[in-house]
Structure 1
Amino acid sequence: MTDFKTLDLTMDGGLAVATFNRPEAMNTFNPAMIADLLALFDLTDADDGVRAVILTGSGRAFCAGADLSGGEDTFDYDKRGQTEDIGGPDRDGGGMVTLRIFRSLKPVLAASNGAAVGIGATMQLAMDWRVAATDSRYGFVFARRGVTPEACSGWFLPRLVGVPKALDWTYSGRVFGAEEALAAGLVQSLHAPGALLDAAKDKALEMTASSAPVSVALARQLMWQGMTMAHPMDMHRVDSRVFAARGRGNDVREGIAAFREKREASYPDTVSAAMPLMDWAAEPDFR
């Protein structure tokens, strides 16, 4: 098990539950959290026992944005000497995390408790499902700190909530409540704080418990990567190859047999061994 500095990781019936564990700092984002999140998704991708990943926070926040203890130089990578920590000159560490979530082979859900501000909001945009506590708060506060939206949110946010709402939130930098987040489609459901994590677990199991893991992993890639494609024919070229690859696999035989025999399926293929190789920038090569 990876020795995380900013996360507590537990396994619960195929669900990897990662909890930010800096409640005294409202789980604010720092270089150690970047490293931990990148390692988390490497770990969950490689573990065939993991069906889905849930991220949540401890204390009063999911993640209250960047750790500002560095003062006015917080976002000046040159002055803070952080270029190596975040992947190179001018590389946004939050964007590295969001892109890693985007590439995840397992569904990712947010159970957003309390404050989700700045990177605490933008890292959630590449997740598949977001549930929130009724008292949670969101804020794309960058313009009020003199910086700009980061973590690929200029790509994700308008696709999730529409351009006018994305502009409203990012221009104003205002903090808003859970009801507004729900109405705009930023979150999918609201729950009492004490019921939040159970609601996320129930949804994660509903998404994955009866489905073939490799099919779920491929469906995740098809849906997200499809948003980058310019024409339906581009998707047709890809999903035709994906469908053909799955049609030759062991899972389809088990899935059909289970359906005909009116029993629960036990899919033999694993993500680590049976996931076809894909190059989304070109015609995929399945081997």
Structure 2
Amino acid sequence: MSAVEHVSYAVSDGIATVTLNRPEARNGYTVTMADELAAAFDEADRDRSVRVAVLTGAGKDFCVGADLSAGGLDLSADNAETWHEPAGRCSMRIFAMNKPVIAAIRGAAVGAGSTIILPADFRLAATDARFGFVFSRRGLYPEGASTWFLPRLVGLGRAMDWMVSGRVFDAPEALAAGMVHALHEPDEVLDKAYELARELIRTTAPVSVAVIRQMLYRAAQTDSPFPVQRLDSRLIAGSAANPDTVEGIMSFLQRRDPQWTGKVPDDLPDHLPWRTDQG
């Protein structure tokens, strides 16, 4: 799906680049963009050659929020019980990913531009980035399950501040709160995202990463550590027959880069409790 209407998609050297591609509209978010983003992450997850996905925006802004002139605010749900709002179509697909996602953000990242990046594993921001959960100032409600993701990143107090006030805040504030992991110059942030992606590809086992990123989200929601430790035990018990475990240990002992053979999604353990979870 390299050529679509509002999103571009490309794969090179194990990295899938998903780009919001409406620079003339400052990447204003539309329903078309939402569906194309979900399709792009579907493709990246299915493609066995892809190890990491990078999410970015064309031009000087990541996303200025819903493009009201181009159908960005779609409220025409026929059935509110089954309808999914546009930002959530992207954020929930990122949440379900088996592969790490790195968001590279510059300029404005407001509304949907702030909510869709929250489930990414890494958020790298340019020094000129600006964020805002501005829904209270539009008479709207937060989207993309952001009221679930944001407090887990920055704490309830800071999430309450940002969401209730709806104020726009700068990159240093986002960094200090833990919403973003690092700041870079605007012309460097995408290169830094690729640098991180290459490091993940070189050093981490894809099947291990797929399991770990889901466990971090899901295990924290259990009422006790006992079911988590039972899953730990079952996973580790199977490690003796896991070629990636053998390779990880041997490459460490031999002081060389590992050569992983496990593939995602093919080699994910069958007994993962979320494999049948459809949300």
TM-score by length of 2: 0.91
Match of 1:137 among 101, 118, 130: 130
The CA deviation string for residues 1-20 of structure 1, in whole angstroms up to 9 with x for no partner, is 45422122232322111211
Corresponding pairs, count: 276
Q: Which runs of 4+ in 1 moved over 4 A?
A: 87-90
5 Å matches for 1:12-91?
12-69=12-69, 74-78=73-77, 83=78, 89-91=82-84
Q: Which residue of 1 aligns with 2:153?
A: 160
5 Å matches for 1:191-270?
191-270=184-263
Letter in 2 for 1:168: D
Whole-Å Cα distance in 2 between the matches of residues 33 and 242 of structure 1?
Answer: 38
SS of residue in 2 equivalent to 1:77: coil
> Percent of counterpart pairs with the same letter?
44
Letter in 2 for 1:279: P
Letter in 1 for 2:14: G
Change (3 A) 1:212 1:30: same
Q: Which residue of 1 aligns with 2:85?
A: 92
Q: Which residue of 2 aligns with 1:8?
A: 8
The CA deviation string for residues 52-102 of structure 1, in whole angstroms up to 9 with x for no partner, is 11111112311111111168x935325xxxx48xx9754322123211101
Whole-Å Cα distance in 1 between the matches of residues 231 and 91 of structure 2?
Answer: 24
- Structure 2 gap ranges (5+): none
Whole-Å Cα distance in 2 between the matches of residues 227 and 205 of structure 1?
Answer: 28
Tell me, yes or no, if the aligned pair for 2:22 and 2:28 is still in contact at 8 Å: yes
Whole-Å Cα distance in 2 between the matches of residues 153 and 249 of structure 1?
Answer: 36
Change (3 A) 1:180 1:40: same
Report the Cα offset of residue 244 of structure 1.
Answer: 2.5
Tell me, yes or no, if the aligned pair for 1:222 and 1:239 is still in contact at 8 Å: no
Report the Cα offset of residue 110 of structure 1.
Answer: 0.7
Change (3 A) 1:38 1:74: closer
Report the Cα offset of residue 165 of structure 1.
Answer: 0.7
Letter in 1 for 2:53: V
Tell me, yes or no, if the aligned pair for 1:124 and 1:130 is still in contact at 8 Å: yes
Q: Which residue of 2 aligns with 1:276?
A: 269
Match of 1:112 among 100, 105, 127: 105
Whole-Å Cα distance in 2 between the matches of residues 153 and 15 of structure 1?
Answer: 26
Whole-Å Cα distance in 2 between the matches of residues 122 and 257 of structure 1?
Answer: 41
Report the Cα offset of residue 126 of structure 1.
Answer: 0.4
Tell me, yes or no, if the aligned pair for 1:77 and 1:90 is still in contact at 8 Å: no
Report the Cα offset of residue 200 of structure 1.
Answer: 1.0
Tell me, yes or no, if the aligned pair for 2:100 and 2:210 is still in contact at 8 Å: yes
Letter in 2 for 1:44: A
Report the Cα offset of residue 281 of structure 1.
Answer: 8.9
The CA deviation string for residues 213-246 of structure 1, in whole angstroms up to 9 with x for no partner, is 1111111111122232222112112222222234
Change (3 A) 1:256 1:125: same
Report the Cα offset of residue 134 of structure 1.
Answer: 0.5
Which range is displaced more, 246-255 or 169-178?
246-255
- Structure 1 gap ranges (5+): 283-287
5 Å matches for 1:119-130?
119-130=112-123
SS of residue in 1 equivalent to 2:56: strand
The CA deviation string for residues 97-124 of structure 1, in whole angstroms up to 9 with x for no partner, is 2111011011001101111111110111
Whole-Å Cα distance in 1 between the matches of residues 25 and 116 of structure 2?
Answer: 18
Tell me, yes or no, if the aligned pair for 2:28 and 2:64 is still in contact at 8 Å: yes
Q: Which residue of 1 aligns with 2:167?
A: 174
SS of residue in 2 equivalent to 1:271: coil
RMSD of the alignment, in Å? 2.3
SS of residue in 2 equivalent to 1:104: coil
TM-score by length of 1: 0.89
Report the Cα offset of residue 138 of structure 1.
Answer: 0.3
